[in-house]
Amino acid sequence: MKNLQTAVLSLVLAGLVSPAAMAQLPELGSPSSISGAPTTARFFGGASADNGSSFASSFGYDQAIDVDTEIQVESSHVNTMGNLYVFIVWDGLYFQRVESGDYEIWDLSLPNLQAAFPAKTLQASEPINIVNDVAFGPAGVSDTTLAIFLAYDSMAAPGEIFYSGAPLSVAIESEQTTAASLQLYVDTISSPIIQAKCIICHQVGGVATDSALHYVNSGVANFQTTNYNTLVNYIKNVPNGSSEILSRPQGMNHTGGVQLTPSSQDFLNLQAFVNQVLAE
């Protein structure tokens, strides 16, 4: 599990890309030092699905996001030699970014600490891109929250490490699976049956305006989900709905006459759809 997580993180997060123009990154709270002494160092970080125009803390399973951070070192540390560190806590495990850009498990011991950017001359602002346009879910990271911490040290303050006490939190939602009945609806019911054969009467103001079934046409936003919900509600909640929806279009007790013959593929598809809705 640990090796798998390491491999996945390295794969997902590999590569340092120079940050594009973006809004000011949010500041991370509680800048701290391991000695407990106060610090004027500042840490920033943000995750964005719109290339840095806005930042959020939670993202969809397959949403491509950028994660950018920045360390502003204490002014007395500018132009001194130091190290920059990046840590990611994922499902209770600590990963540290190493010089290659890969992430390795870190056991939280100082001797095993590795710098992401070792032995560099510290600048007043140190931007660090964590990922660029990566969708975490498909890469194996989902239904979880990543906590990203930043740190640095300087030869001007031997033995001291400055770090963001509060992490940048990035939640990746779990995969939303489409209900099988919705998939059937979109694939086999929406265009050939509802839009082609029913909606002409079954809409507000249509011949069937007084019936319990009104659909919206394909020019309306989200028409498929709207009509799917209408049908599911009819099948599940209207008395005899699950049989009426199949008998009426065969012409039984239907002012609209015969719209589907029992042997037609459309009728079989409608039957399969109804069965699926009842099964879910």
Which tokens is 62 given? 């397959």
Please state the closest distance from residue 272 (CB atom) to ligand HEC, in A.
14
For residue 49, how far is the Cα from the chain centroid?
9
Q: Which is nearer to ligand HEC, 134 or 201 (CB)?
A: 201
Q: Which is nearer to ligand HEC, 68 or 244 (CB)?
A: 244
Please state the closest distance from residue 194 (CB atom) to ligand HEC, in A.
7
Q: Which is nearer to ligand HEC, 141 or 246 (CB)?
A: 246
In angstroms, rounded to a whole number, what is the distance separating the alpha carbons of residues 243 and 208?
A: 18
C-beta nearest to ligand HEC: residue: 256
CA count, 13 A, side-chain hemisphere, 196: 9
Q: Which is nearer to ligand HEC, 67 or 231 (CB)?
A: 231
Please state the closest distance from residue 279 (CB atom) to ligand HEC, in A.
20
The set of residues, in sequence order, having a beta carbon less than 8 Å from that of 252 and lying 6+ positions away, is none
Q: What is the CA radius of gyration of the chain?
A: 29
As a residue count, the chain comes to 280
Longest dimension (CA), the chain: 89
The set of residues, in sequence order, having a beta carbon less than 8 Å from that of 51 and lying 6+ positions away, is 20, 22, 66
Question: Taking the CB of residue 99, how many other CB atoms lie within 10 A of it?
Answer: 12
In angstroms, rounded to a whole number, what is the distance separating the alpha carbons of residues 274 and 157?
A: 71
Please state the closest distance from residue 199 (CB atom) to ligand HEC, in A.
8
Query: Residue 273: phi, psi to the nearest 5?
Result: -65, -45
Q: Which is nearer to ligand HEC, 97 or 248 (CB)?
A: 248
Please state the closest distance from residue 236 (CB atom) to ligand HEC, in A.
13
Q: Which is nearer to ligand HEC, 19 or 256 (CB)?
A: 256
Binding mask 186-225 toward ligand HEC (x if CB under 6 A, else -) reads -------x---xx-xxx----xx--xxx------------
Which tokens is 132 given? 């660029």
Binding mask 220-259 toward ligand HEC (x if CB under 6 A, else -) reads ------------------------xx--xx----xxx--x
Please state the closest distance from residue 232 (CB atom) to ligand HEC, in A.
13
Contact indicator for 259, 198 with CB cutoff of 8 Å? yes
Q: Which is nearer to ligand HEC, 130 or 199 (CB)?
A: 199
Please state the closest distance from residue 93 (CB atom) to ligand HEC, in A.
54
Report the interface residues with ligand HEC, using CB under 6 A: 193, 197-198, 200-202, 207-208, 211-213, 244-245, 248-249, 254-256, 259-260
